[in-house]
């Protein structure tokens, strides 16, 4: 497996570096936490974890790496590992947890999990991702839903447009909003954001069935299907409804455009809600959350979690265990998720503190788990190894930023993904 080899190289260097005396400088009772939560809503959420850990007498050393979606943070994490100085905990999720587990560098937190009864408090779909060879090596903080559309109702009213449930309705509304001199679609032109929008388009076009076939099973015939061609065509049309400032824009800046009424809509996971609520906005009044067009019966899940690196110092280990325990405590799961826009990973949490968007999410998470509409977000590292997801994302971004035809995009997509699959 190519990605495994990469990490193997990193770990070899890590061992070498520690024999040269470059080992971690984390002191007893301290946890150094690498994460990528730097927007207003995200920083507020991360602060909740810091405060709760410090209340237990441990110190939190913050290592935030800016960059939505975490690509920059993952690069930094790998270079820290290469330098023989991994942090105590890092925001890593999905199949990547297995990639790090394969190298034997993760701490086993099963004793903390047993004490906290994690097996009974987590849905098995969540617990399984947190385990490596049967042991807990990660702790989940939340469940984000990715297939959301965020809208500013005042902009719709001004333009005489109706909130869209399908892509046809989306473009009808977008035409009206554009004619009224406003920006229909707030978008940040970064590869992970292009891919976030694209996965929702595929879900809306071909349902959970096509989604699973092309993003999880990597089924060649489905990748060549009309549903994929149609999905690329929809993505292409979106180009006409965003603004000139889109390339390179951060996701939270795009959300800000909807908050301020400069733009009407954004397709983004519910971390965007953290920005609305951080700006004092109320769901149902100042903003609307609704399923991305055509995806009301589905739920793309994205579970944030922290992995823990082996510690030789017993004080650092105690602090690390305290961090793992804190993450799963009800107090943290509530405060953090209310601010973050997500729902708790832990089952049987009180519903009262959560707003209407989160309650919809909670209900749909349970419902779609039964109907088959619950699917892993490929754009957020839940569905495929990073090499495969990267191969997909490259084509999507190249297509979105060129005049490539939908047919050529499908062909490039199949070639890229099959090559990446073969290299695993």
Would you tell me which residues interact with ligand GAL (CB under 6 A)?
Answer: 36-37, 42, 68-70, 144, 251, 271, 302, 304, 380
Give the shortest CB-187-to-ligand GAL separation in angstroms. Answer: 14
Nearer to ligand GAL, 36 or 332 (CB): 36
Residue 29 CA, chain-centre distance (Å), reads 30
Q: Quick one: 58 or 340, whose CB is closer to ligand GAL?
A: 340
Pick 34 or 409: Cβ nearer ligand GAL: 34
Radius of gyration of the chain measured on its C-alpha atoms: 21
Smallest gap from residue 23 Cβ to ligand GAL (A): 30
Q: Which residue is nearest to ligand GAL (CB)?
A: 68
- Residue closer to ligand GAL, measured from CB, 96 or 212: 96
Minimum distance between the CB of residue 166 and ligand GAL, rounded to whole angstroms? 26
How many whole angstroms separate alpha carbon 285 and alpha carbon 56? 39
Of the pair 311, 386, the CB lying nearest ligand GAL is at 386
What one-character-per-residue DSSP string does 245-257 give? T-BT--HHHHHHH
Q: In this structure, what DSSP letter does residue 106 have?
A: B
Q: Nearest approach, Cβ of 76 to ligand GAL (angstroms)?
A: 14
Q: How far is CA 351 from CA 11, 327, 334, 369, 415, in A?
A: 43, 18, 9, 19, 46
Q: Report how far residue 403's alpha carbon sits from residue 93's, in angstroms, rounded to the nearest whole number.
A: 34
User: Rounded distance, CA 250 to CA 246, Å?
Assistant: 9
User: In DSSP terms, which residues pair with 289 in a beta bridge?
Assistant: 150
Smaller CB distance to ligand GAL: residue 125 or 406?
125
Report, in Å, the least distance between residue 282 CB and ligand GAL: 22
List Cβ neighbours of 333 (8 Å cut-off, separation of 6 or more).
141, 142, 327, 344, 345, 346, 349
Q: How far is the CB of 315 from ligand GAL (least distance, A)?
A: 29
User: Which positions ≥6 away from 158 have C-beta within 8 Å?
Assistant: 180, 182
């Amino acid at each position: 497996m190519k990605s495994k080899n990469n990490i193997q190289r990193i770990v070899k260097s890590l061992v070498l570096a520690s024999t040269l005396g470059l080992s971690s400088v984390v002191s007893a009772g301290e946890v150094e936490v690498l994460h990528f939560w730097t927007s207003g809503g995200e920083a507020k959420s991360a602060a909740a974890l810091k405060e709760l850990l410090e209340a237990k007498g441990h110190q939190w050393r913050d290592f935030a790496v800016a960059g939505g979606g975490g690509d920059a943070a993952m690069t930094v994490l790998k270079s820290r590992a290469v330098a023989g100085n991994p942090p105590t905990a890092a925001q890593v999720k999905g199949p990547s947890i297995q990639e790090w587990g394969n190298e034997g560098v993760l701490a086993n937190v099963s004793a903390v999990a047993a004490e906290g009864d994690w097996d009974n408090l987590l849905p098995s779909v969540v617990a399984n991702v947190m385990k490596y060879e049967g042991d807990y090596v990660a702790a989940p903080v939340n469940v984000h839903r990715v297939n959301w559309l965020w809208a500013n109702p005042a902009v719709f009213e001004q333009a005489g447009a109706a909130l869209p449930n399908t892509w046809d309705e989306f473009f009808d509304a977008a035409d009206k909003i554009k004619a009224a001199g406003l920006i229909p679609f707030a978008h940040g032109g970064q590869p992970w954001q292009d891919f976030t929008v694209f996965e929702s388009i595929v879900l809306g076009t071909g349902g959970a069935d096509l989604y699973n076939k092309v993003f999880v099973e990597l089924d060649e015939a489905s990748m060549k299907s009309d549903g994929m061609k149609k999905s690329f065509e929809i993505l292409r049309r979106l180009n006409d409804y965003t603004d000139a400032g889109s390339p390179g824009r951060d996701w939270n800046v795009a959300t800000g455009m909807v908050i301020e009424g400069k733009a009407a809509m954004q397709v983004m996971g519910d971390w965007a809600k953290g920005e609305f609520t951080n700006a004092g906005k109320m769901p149902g009044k100042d903003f609307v959350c609704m399923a991305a067009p055509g995806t009301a019966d589905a739920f793309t899940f994205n579970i944030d979690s922290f992995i823990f690196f082996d510690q030789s110092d017993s004080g650092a280990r105690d602090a690390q265990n305290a961090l793992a325990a804190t993450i799963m405590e009800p107090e943290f799961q509530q405060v953090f998720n209310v601010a973050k826009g997500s729902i708790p990973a832990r089952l049987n949490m009180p519903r009262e503190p959560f707003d209407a968007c989160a309650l919809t999410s909670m209900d749909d998470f349970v419902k779609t788990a039964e109907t088959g509409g619950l699917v892993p977000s490929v754009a957020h590292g839940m569905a495929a190894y990073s090499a495969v997801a990267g191969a997909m994302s490259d084509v999507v971004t190249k297509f979105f930023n060129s005049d490539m035809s939908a047919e050529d995009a499908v062909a490039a997509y199949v070639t890229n993904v099959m090559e990446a699959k073969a290299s695993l």
